[in-house]
Amino acid sequence: MREKNAPGQESLESAFRAFGGVPEEVLLDNARALVSHHDPATREVRFNDRLLAFAKHWGFRPRACAPYRARTKGKDERGVGYVKRNALAGREFASWAALEAHLAWWTREVADVRVHGTTGEPPVARFGRDEAAAPRPIDGRPPFRRVRDPCRRVLPDCAVEVGTNACSVPWRLTGERVRVTVADGWVRVSRAGREVAARPEAAGRRRRVAEPAHFRRVPGFRRPAGEPGPAPPAAMAESDLPRPLAEYERAVGEGW
């Protein structure tokens, strides 16, 4: 899986919540974002590190479809075609909420109660009866939201990349390597074990979130209107100087 929301990650988590638990095994396609290598002859499979971390977080065993074998590939994709043809084809929806409401009704009143072609019984009846296949409870486990490679180099514009977005950090860290963690809707940046920036995760894509305080003392930085500037330094009395002013005047050859 890639750092940004990888294909299927949010969909799987939504399915876990809908079914009230996590299955022991999840059958996956051989997409490059999920499977790094799959040898058709030896069936050697190497999953993407991000996927393995996701599977460990939720406690399921990933299994890749056999390459060029319609039996497993079809099982993985036929349900998608069924939804497209039976639930969506020829319909229009005024909003995303209307689409979701329709799918919830269709799942409950159509998909779950029709006689399945393989099992010969309604899915809702089989799921409710087969206790051996019951998913393990989620037990309040939070969504999996951690970046693939938490180490990032601060860019010349005083920012680190977080998926397709960018988040500013103090300008003195430009060029340094920092650790980025995305969890519970927050982006946190740390260096040497000390947090240097934290802010809510930006919604959408290609957004740049900047904190004005990170750019103070940078040449050309303009303080936002209304923001108070630093207090002026206190006047220095002549008694605070290490030498009398006259000595400085003689050194430079003219009066101050």
Q: What is the pLDDT of residues 152-173, one digit of tens each?
A: 899 988 899 887 889 999 988 9
**Cα–Cα nearest to 161, from 207, 211, 203, 221:** 207
> Sorting pLDDT into bands at 50, 70 and 90, what band is 67?
confident
| Domains of the chain, each with CATH number or no CATH | 9-133 (3.30.420.10), 151-215 (no CATH)
What would the mean pLDDT of 196-202 be, rounded to a whole number?
Answer: 87
The better pLDDT of the pair 129, 222 is held by 129
Rounded to an integer, the average pLDDT of 122-130 is 82
Mean pLDDT of all residues in 21-50: 83
Q: Are 189 and 197 in contact (CB under 8 A)?
A: yes
pLDDT of residue 1: 33
What's the pLDDT score for residue 133? 59
Structure confidence at residue 130 as a pLDDT band (50, 70, 90): low
Q: What is the pLDDT of residue 199?
A: 86
Which positions ≥6 away from 149 have C-beta within 8 Å? Answer: 3
Query: What pLDDT, on a 0 to 100 scale, did the predictor assign at position 235?
Result: 53
Share of the chain above pLDDT 90, in %: 20
Q: Give yes or no for residue 110 having a pLDDT over 90.
A: yes
SS3 annotation, the chain: CCCCCCCCHHHHHHHHHHHCCECCEEEECCCCCCEEEECCCCCCEEECHHHHHHHHHHCCEEEECCCCCHHHHHHHHHHHHHHHHHHHCCCCCCCHHHHHHHHHHHHHHHHCCCCCCCCCCCHHHHHHHCHHHCCECCCCCCCCCCCCCCEEECCCCCEEEECCEEEECCHHHCCCEEEEEEECCEEEEEECCEEEEEEECCCCCCCEECCHHHHCCCCCCCCCCCCCCCCCCCCCCHHHCCCCHHHHHHHHCCCC
Pairing verdict, β 186-191 and 194-200? antiparallel
The span from the CA of 20 to the CA of 128, in Å, is: 12
pTM over 0.85: no
- The residue-averaged pLDDT of 55-83 equals 78
Least confident of 38-47, 80-89, 225-234: 225-234
Query: Average pLDDT of 190-218?
Result: 83
